[in-house]
Amino acid sequence: MENYLHLHLPPNDIRNISSIGLAHLGDAVYELMVRSWLCVHGAATGKHLHRAAVELVRAESQARRSERILPLLTEEEAAVFRRGRNANVHTIPHSASRADYLKATALECLFGYLYLQGDTERLNTLFCTMMEE
């Protein structure tokens, strides 16, 4: 039985997943990490948790925070980030610029990729760097 909380797919299987598929998964991984971070850092009420989570997962916030990790990415990670940024996105929310949305998609693609590799330590390192104030 596959353990979907702790995946470790072979590189070829991950390469066969579309950029949009990786970003779809990475969006959920990033949101789970944001929600966990908020709970650990004392955002206790549901109303405040929701508002804070929405603020942190917005494309603008993801794009800005992704700038913090770009210099730290390996060649492989940078290639996945570029792959996500170049994804064929058809719809961009009114609340985001095209550039921010594509950068957020790139970040989500990277997070999906690392999650599927089972590299939770690297995911955590990058996430913590992004969340530093």
- Least Cα distance to 65 among 24, 25, 22, 33 occurs for 33
Pick from 127, 115, 128, 124: nearest CA to 7: 115
Taking the C-alpha atoms of residue 115 and residue 26, their distance in angstroms, rounded to an integer, is 8
Residue 19 burial (10 A CB sphere; 0-12, 13-18, 19+): buried
CB atoms within 10 A of CB 130: 21
Is-catalytic flag, 100?
A: no
Among 13, 27, 100, 119, which one carries the catalytic annotation?
27
Q: Is 42 helix (H, G, I), strand (E, B) or coil?
A: coil
Helix, strand or coil for residue 95?
coil
Catalytic residue numbers read 27
